[in-house]
Copies of this chain bind each other. A is one copy, B any other.
Amino acid sequence: MALQNDLFLQACRGVRPSRTPVWMMRQAGRYLAEYRAIRAKVSFTELCRTPELCAEVTLQPIDILGVDAAILFSDILVVFDALGVDVIFDPAPRIEQPVRTAADIARLRWGDPREACDYVFAAVRACKAALADRVPLIGFCGAPFTTLSYLVEGGGSRTFEHIKGLLFREPGVFHGLMEKITGLLVTYLQAQVESGADVLQIFDSWAGALAPEDYREHVLPHLDRLVRETQAATGVPVILFARGNANILADVATIPADVLGIDWTIELGAAIDVVGEGRVVQGNLDPTVLLSNPATIEAKTRAVLAAGRRAKAHIFNLGHGISKHTDPGLAKRMIEVVQGG
């Protein structure tokens, strides 16, 4: 069935739409009272595992803010169900037994994500049904390095000493794990598309943990494979968002992702200089700008919009997830400015 609003999809396919489409990373989240009302009843984990509730929160920003795309409510770490690794959200994710030794690695299950994560695909179907083709639905996963980082660090990190220690001391083990995770993620994304996802986004949230030469040598080949195999297997556009070090942008841009996500640490115009005007870019307003006031938000939103005109197409977004302290009315103001209000 045809989408009622396909501006976002047009941009993903490299066609500049009649106006710039907009959505926000983490748009279904704690800054919305309607989301908090649901979370008052169920834990984050229960929410991820309940397709009807996933659909409800996925649609909240569509109904409340009028964004041009929906993104599946889920978490990049639920894929660990296929490895037999439990994640606790407290609220930051934590793995009780991080994977650091040969024995830890030997215990990993490498199951079929189609079975282990069946609730994710049920959630995709529930979202599609609830959306009734109003806007496209984005599915997603963590990139191989980010996924492996959580597995080895056991949570977030400031220094990433465990994963980098593994990389520097035992590159063979590191690459073996990256290889297997990449294969798992291709299947995981493919199943999301089979369930109805229209576009996919890959989050390399911890790309900034590595020096540029190490990222290029040890991470980029796996990321490239993930993007290419996913494109070949699914036929849907892939957005690649490698966050945290804009110095690696030129390297990331060698990957033929349909859209390149740009974080807020680089001016969008400078990013377009790096990736070339022939690419589709997504981003990149600093989310803390939404903690200010209408005048500041308007000025900074217009500056990002103006910079985006030089790209092949531009999808307006924040340069990182929206803050839980954001006033939804101010987020709405940003969206109105983008949508021409």
Contact = CB atoms under 8 A, between A and B. Distances in A.
A293 to B, nearest CB: 6
Nearest to A246: B247
A110 interface: no
A161 B325 contact: yes
B247 A164 contact: no
B164 A291 contact: yes
Interface in A203-237: 208, 211-214
A229 B169 CA distance: 46
A323 B211 contact: no
Contacts of A319: 211
A120 to B, nearest CB: 27
Contacts of A323: 159, 161
Nearest to A321: B159
Given A265-B245, A265-B247, A165 B292 contact: yes
Nearest to A263: B211
Interface of A: 159-161, 164-165, 168-169, 208, 211-214, 245-247, 264-267, 270, 286, 288-289, 291-293, 296, 303, 319, 323, 325
Given A160-B288, A164-B288, A211-B267, 6 more contacts: A168-B293, A169-B296, A212-B265, A212-B266, A212-B267, A245-B265
Give the interface centre of A213, A247, A288, A319 by most chain B CB atoms within 10 Å. Answer: A288
A168 B289 contact: yes
A292 B169 contact: yes
A69 B95 CA distance: 41
Contacts of A213: 267, 303
A264 B286 CA distance: 23
A214 B264 CA distance: 11
Contacts of A293: 168-169
A267 B247 CA distance: 9
B159 A265 contact: no
A245 B293 CA distance: 26
What 3 A-B pairs come out closest when comparing CB atoms? A168-B292, A164-B288, A165-B291
7 contacts: A159-B288, A160-B288, A161-B288, A164-B288, A165-B292, A208-B265, A211-B319
A229 B308 CA distance: 40
B247 A291 contact: no
Contacts of A168: 288-289, 291-293, 296
Contacts of A159: 288, 323
Contacts of A303: 213
Contacts of A292: 165, 168-169
A169 B266 CA distance: 22
Contact of A288 (B165, B291, B325): B165
A149 to B, nearest CB: 13
A29 to B, nearest CB: 14
A286 B214 CA distance: 10
